[in-house]
Amino acid sequence: MNDVIFRRDDPRLGRFELRPVAPAQDAPLLHAWVTHPKSVFWLMQGADLQAVEDEYARIEASGHHEAYLGLHDGKPAFLVEKYDPAQSEIAGLYDERPGDVGMHFLTAPTEQPVHGFTLAVLVTVMELLFADPATERVVVEPDIRNAAVHRLNAAVGFRVEHEISLADKTAHLSTCTRADYRTTQESHA
């Protein structure tokens, strides 16, 4: 499948690409990822294969939520969801603005972690989102217990706005403006 919608070359880690999730085709791989013990914050630990396929088919059909399979040097390595916060569970729980886009990402569980890989994935996701000139700010709501993702988010410019209670977690509602993201990237250049 060669439906790549975005590509980024990382000077240290190689090529990162994104293509739309194909629910039926990708469900076995995604099921292994989202039910893995390391993916506890994805909140699909007990999902069976059909539930994973159904979830990504629902996302595909929604019109306001998109899922992408991320490739690293041509091999599946991460998952990204982009959504309209105004059409989500966080609608009304923060200061919504025109140009907001919501995001989730998951790196595939691995027994051989590569230093800096997850940050490179997050930079790729942010580049994808800000490639759309309509995107002014990225909004995320990671579980308050997910210290690793809070550090990564801060590294690319996210600021915690406040805590919110959602159906299945308490989260740090965090935002990153285009300007804040660019500042972090210039400081690492």
In a domain, 159, yes or no: yes
Q: Residue 1: which pLDDT band, with cuts at 50, 70 and 90?
A: low
Residue 136 confidence (pLDDT):
97
In a domain, 25, yes or no: yes
In a domain, 119, yes or no: yes
Q: Residue 2: exposed, middle, or buried by beta-carbon count in 10 A (0-12, 13-18, 19+)? A: exposed
The H or E element spanning position 138 is strand 137-140
In a domain, 161, yes or no: yes
Residue 58 confidence (pLDDT):
96
* Backbone torsions φ then ψ of 122, nearest 5 degrees: -60, -40
Mean pLDDT value across residues 117-135: 97
In a domain, 35, yes or no: yes
Residue 188 confidence (pLDDT):
74
Instruction: Compute the chain's Rg from CA coordinates.
Output: 16
Q: What is the pLDDT of residues 155-177, one digit of tens each?
A: 999 999 999 999 999 999 999 99
pLDDT reading at 45 higher than 80: yes
Count: domains in the chain:
1
pLDDT reading at 88 higher than 90: yes
In a domain, 10, yes or no: yes
pLDDT reading at 84 higher than 80: yes
Distance CA 74, CA 125 (A): 16
Residue 43 confidence (pLDDT):
86
In a domain, 1, yes or no: no
Written as six digits, the tokens of 167 are 């159906």
The average confidence (pLDDT) of the chain is 95
Residues 6+ apart with CB under 8 A from 75: none
Strand arrangement, sheet containing 100-107: 6-10, 14-20, 65-72, 75-83, 100-107, 137-140, 170-177, 159-165
Q: What is the pLDDT of residues 14-27, one digit of tens each?
A: 999 999 999 999 99
Domain range for 116 is: 6-188
* Closest C-alpha to 118, from 31, 4, 35, 41: 41
pLDDT reading at 189 higher than 80: no
Q: Residue 185: which pLDDT band, with cuts at 50, 70 and 90?
A: very high
In a domain, 96, yes or no: yes
The pTM of the full predicted model, rounded to 2 decimals, is 0.94
Residue 2 confidence (pLDDT):
65
CATH number at residue 117: 3.40.630.30
Mean pLDDT value across residues 148-152: 95
Mean pLDDT value across residues 54-58: 96
